[in-house]
Copies of this chain bind each other. A is one copy, B any other.
């Protein structure tokens, strides 16, 4: 590789898994959660590719629902991410090809793209960067490089890669990709030196697109046209919807990697995991002397090799052996840790009976901050609202509810009808039924307020937005 050719990290952050329920939910999936460190998985991914001598600023692919998470969590790290929105979900093939087309347009056809899942964990970021350097050299020589992970066990949760010829720049030609095996086959694969397929790639933008043109021409056509049709709104780029929607839905592995003759693999030994289920979270987290991993207020007696997470409620365990307990403020999961793969089926079963708790979090995230229900009754609803400094809710009204606001921290700027006034800590106001109002935080610290709604109908859909700085009208 040319010493001055920096890599463009492309972070794929649009996924919505349910295997880590009740923490990961459709409205806030696992990449944006802090599961194995104080940062979110997405943030840790951004941090791994932040060295300015090696990497350009990141390009993040996600969807409209997650755009504010993607921007805010990058901003918290001081990273200026370009956030590109997929108008519809089309699996990883069209997304990675669109990213390649976008990078080619912005950085030229020889630009190197490092396509990373936003929701994987890596224990050793230095070893990761070393592997990336090797992979970049291999990619510059005309290969599409995948990262192969030395198996720590005959896992049946991953696909495997059979190694071919050794390459001069490091790594190997890929002899064959194989599907997730049964445990017997997996044991043989491990003995034969196969590697886990991590699903992260490094390639020259032009090479991926030309190989794509050979195997999936419609997909490449859709992706390049979607990039040509990009529109911008409050700093977010959205791929052309009509073009992108026309792309066939297929994984990049199936569309290109399993077909191209230019597939190479660089071996990585950096403590990788795709955090695919709760037992993976336990495996990548530091355990105590009894083998237990705990987060939050947890007290264990006579327990071993268990994973216990709690948002806020004390979890006490007696005699737990290989048990996983995940306690959020509105749902608690208990199971033997080796049943982690069954969470997906549980969530599917729960969706009919408990849709809210399956797909939404108690704390709802909005571009201006968060809100959460803290108490609910027949004709009232109490919320805690946090508005970020500079945040501004939409100008709105409600037909069926009145609201009492009590500021408990910071400063609120309240618009009520034609009046604009300030409320400080320990001050309150009343918003009658039907009044046009707006809440904003003009201060430098978060504004916290308690909202007591009363009325006969208190659904979130009783909101008439008149004006909104986040383009949500």
Contacts and interface: CB of A to CB of B under 8 A. Distances in A.
Q: Interface of chain A, helix or strand or loop or mixed?
A: strand
A65 interface: no
A281 to B, nearest CB: 16
Contacts of A297: 354
A334 interface: yes
A350 B316 CA distance: 9
B382 A374 contact: yes
A126 interface: no
B448 A345 contact: no
Contacts of A3: none
Interface string A421-438: 000011010100000000
Contacts of A406: 404, 452, 454
Nearest to A21: B316
Contact of A332 (B313, B425, B448): B313
A215 B330 CA distance: 57
Contacts of A353: 299
Interface stretch (A80-88, A172-180, A321-329): A321-329
Given A384-B375, A404-B406, A316 B334 contact: yes
Nearest to A455: B426
Given A334-B315, A380-B450, A345 B409 contact: no
Interface stretch (A142-150, A185-193, A335-343): A335-343
A343 B408 CA distance: 39
A473 interface: no
30 contacts: A22-B316, A297-B354, A299-B349, A299-B353, A301-B342, A301-B346, A310-B332, A313-B313, A313-B329, A314-B331, A314-B332, A314-B357, A316-B331, A316-B333, A316-B334, A318-B335, A318-B343, A318-B346, A325-B332, A334-B334, A378-B409, A380-B408, A380-B409, A382-B384, A404-B404, A404-B428, A408-B454, A425-B454, A428-B430, A450-B450
Given A301-B345, A316-B350, 20 more contacts: A22-B316, A299-B354, A313-B329, A314-B354, A315-B332, A316-B346, A317-B333, A318-B343, A318-B346, A319-B335, A319-B342, A332-B332, A374-B382, A375-B382, A375-B450, A377-B408, A377-B448, A380-B408, A404-B404, A428-B428
